[in-house]
Structure 1
């Protein structure tokens, strides 16, 4: 008896030592199953615990059972805990929390479903003992004998003691697993906090560096260079009007030419991907041999996008520090652009004052005006072309930054500097000319100015523009502007395409626009066209528009009828009445020339008298 008790004490000590060593749960359960077989002289033993869903009991520890048997039970004949009419012994013990036994599978009708399995494995008797722990059942300890056997109360008591050890082992293992998981999570959290702290430190360092560069007056170039160094990627900074403020490659890698050439064209939503991260966004570049994606960072001043920072790759490819650097540099860059904008707008206000003095006539022979212009880099002693573009209403003399910046980009390589401002509802540019520069070469500048988008919405719509000059004297600027304004209004009256006009494009009209006093011309037009005006005032049919359309269409009645939306017979009758009233024959060249000249003069007079009322 003492020797048997000593064996139990030793066995329990081994189990306790294994628990303390932290061996795996399966090893512990195998050891407990082996101990039960050796101490109780049983043939087989297994320990079952519920699966993750608590629907079946699975064998997790065993002794004496074949691997095939364990696999067969776990995979094909699991011990169901719910939904069966006749539960297994293990299921009963697990549900009731008390030992359940079968002395003979062969004679017990309740075990008919398990009789074949018992015969195949070679056991006749079985006892299932619950693994009870703190108000719950953790599993079962199942013991088998080949010979028919009745399990006594003393055996049940000893098996319950082993079951308690198994319950302790399971509880300890779960606790250790949960503890290890918790420690792992805490370690990961600690590492994450350390990484975030280091990232924040580096980001703060970047912010301090960028702010210092801004305060030192390093400008956009210094900020862009520092960013390229941090990212180790090419970087470009451009304004929304397309002006490239900074561009650099990195280790031979540069940004796509298509991007730098058409940055403003990438505003459209259809080129934006869904991948965004705050100020950062992926942008797909069109018109390239292969689909290219770059990262765009928005620079904002007063809730308006004023510039973009570009770099290669995708947002998802950036390191966390790279993202921080891109987001942190946006604020210093906005401050730098705001400073530049303030200086530029102050300069444009002064330029507007100069332009007002020139075009209003208050600056005739003013040496002070020339000196003020020279201070800003303009040389009014040189010949200039005057370009006038009809615009939306602007503050007199002042220009919005979007317009000033666009013009600055156009004129950045021109010396001395061209002068730009707004006057009388027009954008006016004075472009310096060389001694032999033909006026027609400035037409392209007028075309560019006519494409400048409106302040409210970016657009490619064009306005009418006129180029006059060369202006060689300050005293001639008012008349040059009046001529250009008249050309713009005349182009609108005649519904010409919106483009830049040189006065020579208008033929005789271009010469007439330059006549200072049109009173004699007005009398000439009245003498010739007076009968038609009197008719149009007294009758329903307007003959003057019919005459103008006929001459414009080379006297073709069919085309004229289509243009005026009337029947051809009406046009033919109108021509007959015109010729009767004016006592002319439009088929004769002298008569046609005289009438056409009078109409040209009439258009010029209307354009000169109504400079602000025509929608262009």
Structure 2
């Protein structure tokens, strides 16, 4: 077999053993000393060339590693991944058993291992070292590389028990570390270690230093990148806050302008509720202190009454309070008040809690609601007072200058010479001024009068149908006050005096209804009959009116003709309706009695015989008889 020359071995990148084997065989087989000398020179040159080629390959590998590291830095995405790659390449290029990178922790004043490669124990990667200890201490204190071929035996290093224990567990002996420098300051160190004694060359120190410089750049880039990202994040947050603040200003300005329009245009509580529901996108209930709805808006349906505790908290603090009624149903409760007086409760319902801006808008809306209610109350009280004074004067002394009453009434578009219905009403469970205010609003629409008389509300409204007119008015009054209303009715009345007389009759009817425990009903004199005398407040003139209403035609006939129809009718009831018994009692024929009763039917109508009507007639006859007896006793 032909032996290969040294050049062929170089070309094949053969191991060193083959070069030595080629020289040994030549020395054995060649006897010419001159040829051997030439061969030895070729061997020496080949070994130098081979060593140079190996160095070149190593240098190319190092440059390639540095180039790849630089590429990693230009495409920095994850600093931990870049540092891990640097440590791994350092370990590979220096053929080390372990590679690791340590950094200084400025907050804790020590250093820690950030990244490792090739570590086999659990304790070593978790090491923390005080500054100035271990190889790290030598590197950081001097800001220069430091190498030791036997860490545990190196007396120039400050040793710590837990560090030496972890190093022993890892089996480390030789260590090389280079500083990570940034603007002349040490921020950490890049290290490689062997588990057997080793002396690191200058080239290895330089190579590790180059990788350490890349690591420092990676850390600085990561810091700058994070600062830039944090700045962008902060800027985005600021922009978002500015946008939110701008939107809040626009929302608050819109709410302010719309509420101002409601006030300037004379709007009411319902208009305020609609603005609030639209601006804050929710459902709105406005409730009076008793929980009755004054207005609803935003598609509100169902009861909006919040718990008493929420109302009490809002009333005491003066600020809105929130309660969760159900999932996606948050209610904000605010109270409109004047001093300590509770004017109204405003409830906002929606699916999300209030922001601070929403809370301010709600509370501002509540203030506007309170102003409107106070204004309405002031206007109503003034209107009620003026109309009430007119009505009180008219009812107290209708004979005092009727023309003045008519003129005062015309100021309120009321015509006292037109037919009017008089209603005396009692609103149950409601503060009397509230009932009077509601009544004043109603009569204003009808061009009538209203006012308070004691605990009762008196209404005088145009109309010819007492019960029909009163039914509509009282129904609306019930809705306004949110409770039962009992009313006595009389009329129609024309002129101040007639209105005063009808007032007394309606008052009497109301008294009878209350005595009969019939709250919530409406009745006039015809409906109550004699019960109003027995149970109502009755005066002499009212008795005269009653006699005139029930027996008036018969009494008038007797007075004109000198007949005895009234006495015949009284006797007929007294004997149980027997014509013969009446005739015997009055000393007339039964046919005469029959003729007289026919005349009574013509005057009173046939219904006087019906049981309910007959009872009224009998009561009237009893009163007539008592007066007859009284008159006879007064005669000398």
Q: TM-score, normalised by structure 2?
A: 0.53
Distance 1:221 1:134 in 2: 71
- Secondary structure of the 2:420 match is coil
Matched, 1:429 2:475: no
Contact 1:388–1:485 (Cα < 8 Å) also in 2: no
Relative to structure 1, is the Cα distance of residues 270 and 508 closer, same or farther in structure 2, using a 3 angstrom cutoff? same
Deviation at 1:32, TM superposition (A): 3.5
- Paired position in structure 1 for 2:496: 474
- Paired position in structure 1 for 2:300: 255
2:197 is aligned, of 148, 156, 159, to 148
- Paired position in structure 1 for 2:14: none
Contact 2:79–2:222 (Cα < 8 Å) also in 1: yes
Q: TM-score, normalised by structure 1?
A: 0.55
Unaligned runs of 5+ residues in structure 1 are 454-459, 518-616
Deviation at 1:185, TM superposition (A): 0.9
- Paired position in structure 2 for 1:80: 128
Deviation at 1:201, TM superposition (A): 2.7
Aligned residues: 471
Distance 1:126 1:236 in 2: 79
Relative to structure 1, is the Cα distance of residues 38 and 428 closer, same or farther in structure 2, using a 3 angstrom cutoff? closer
Deviation at 1:368, TM superposition (A): 4.0
Contact 2:425–2:486 (Cα < 8 Å) also in 1: yes
Relative to structure 1, is the Cα distance of residues 106 and 89 closer, same or farther in structure 2, using a 3 angstrom cutoff? closer
Matched, 1:313 2:350: yes
- Paired position in structure 1 for 2:387: 351
Q: How does 1:142-221 map to 2 (within 5 A)?
A: 142-151=191-200, 159=208, 162-163=211-212, 165-212=214-261, 214-217=263-266
1:60 is aligned, of 111, 114, 119, to 114
Contact 1:48–1:61 (Cα < 8 Å) also in 2: yes
Relative to structure 1, is the Cα distance of residues 365 and 389 closer, same or farther in structure 2, using a 3 angstrom cutoff? farther
Relative to structure 1, is the Cα distance of residues 361 and 91 closer, same or farther in structure 2, using a 3 angstrom cutoff? farther
Structure number with higher relative contact order (C-alpha < 8 Å, ≥ 6 residues apart) = 1
- Paired position in structure 2 for 1:384: 422
Distance 1:114 1:415 in 2: 98
Deviation at 1:189, TM superposition (A): 0.8
Deviation at 1:47, TM superposition (A): 0.8
- Secondary structure of the 1:190 match is helix
Q: How does 1:275-294 map to 2 (within 5 A)?
A: 280-282=320-322, 294=331
Deviation at 1:325, TM superposition (A): 6.6
Distance 1:196 1:130 in 2: 49
- Secondary structure of the 1:179 match is helix
Distance 1:217 1:466 in 2: 33
- Paired position in structure 2 for 1:578: none
1:29 is aligned, of 68, 72, 83, to 83
Relative to structure 1, is the Cα distance of residues 257 and 418 closer, same or farther in structure 2, using a 3 angstrom cutoff? farther
Distance 2:86 2:309 in 1: 69
- Paired position in structure 2 for 1:525: none
Relative to structure 1, is the Cα distance of residues 273 and 332 closer, same or farther in structure 2, using a 3 angstrom cutoff? closer
Distance 1:35 1:113 in 2: 27
Contact 1:391–1:426 (Cα < 8 Å) also in 2: no
Distance 1:512 1:212 in 2: 52
Relative to structure 1, is the Cα distance of residues 433 and 513 closer, same or farther in structure 2, using a 3 angstrom cutoff? farther
Deviation at 1:22, TM superposition (A): 4.0
Deviation at 1:184, TM superposition (A): 0.9
Relative to structure 1, is the Cα distance of residues 471 and 90 closer, same or farther in structure 2, using a 3 angstrom cutoff? farther
Tell me the alpha carbon deviations over residues 164-184 of structure 1, each in whole angstroms, 9 at most, x when there is no partner.
553443233223212321221
Unaligned runs of 5+ residues in structure 2 are 1-51, 543-636
Tell me the alpha carbon deviations over residues 36-95 of structure 1, each in whole angstroms, 9 at most, x when there is no partner.
4466554432113367974986543445x26xx48x347xx6203369xxx984675588
Tell me the alpha carbon deviations over residues 414-468 of structure 1, each in whole angstroms, 9 at most, x when there is no partner.
9746743345x655423659767579x99x969x99x989xxxxxx9x9x99968
Deviation at 1:137, TM superposition (A): 5.2
Distance 1:322 1:302 in 2: 24
Distance 1:296 1:307 in 2: 11
Distance 1:363 1:155 in 2: 129
Distance 1:159 1:136 in 2: 18
1:113 is aligned, of 151, 165, 170, to 165
Contact 2:423–2:487 (Cα < 8 Å) also in 1: no
1:269 is aligned, of 309, 326, 329, to 309
Tell me the alpha carbon deviations over residues 555-605 of structure 1, each in whole angstroms, 9 at most, x when there is no partner.
xxxxxxxxxxxxxxxxxxxxxxxxxxxxxxxxxxxxxxxxxxxxxxxxxxx
Contact 1:240–1:305 (Cα < 8 Å) also in 2: yes
- Paired position in structure 2 for 1:103: 149
Relative to structure 1, is the Cα distance of residues 514 and 94 closer, same or farther in structure 2, using a 3 angstrom cutoff? farther
Relative to structure 1, is the Cα distance of residues 284 and 389 closer, same or farther in structure 2, using a 3 angstrom cutoff? same
- Secondary structure of the 2:197 match is coil
Distance 1:434 1:166 in 2: 101
Deviation at 1:372, TM superposition (A): 3.8
Distance 2:505 2:458 in 1: 14
Contact 2:509–2:536 (Cα < 8 Å) also in 1: no
Q: How does 1:447-466 map to 2 (within 5 A)?
A: none
Relative to structure 1, is the Cα distance of residues 22 and 408 closer, same or farther in structure 2, using a 3 angstrom cutoff? farther
- Secondary structure of the 1:143 match is strand
RMSD: 6.1
Contact 2:149–2:173 (Cα < 8 Å) also in 1: yes
- Paired position in structure 2 for 1:361: 397
Q: How does 1:525-544 map to 2 (within 5 A)?
A: none
Contact 1:124–1:145 (Cα < 8 Å) also in 2: yes
Distance 2:422 2:324 in 1: 43
Distance 1:329 1:383 in 2: 41
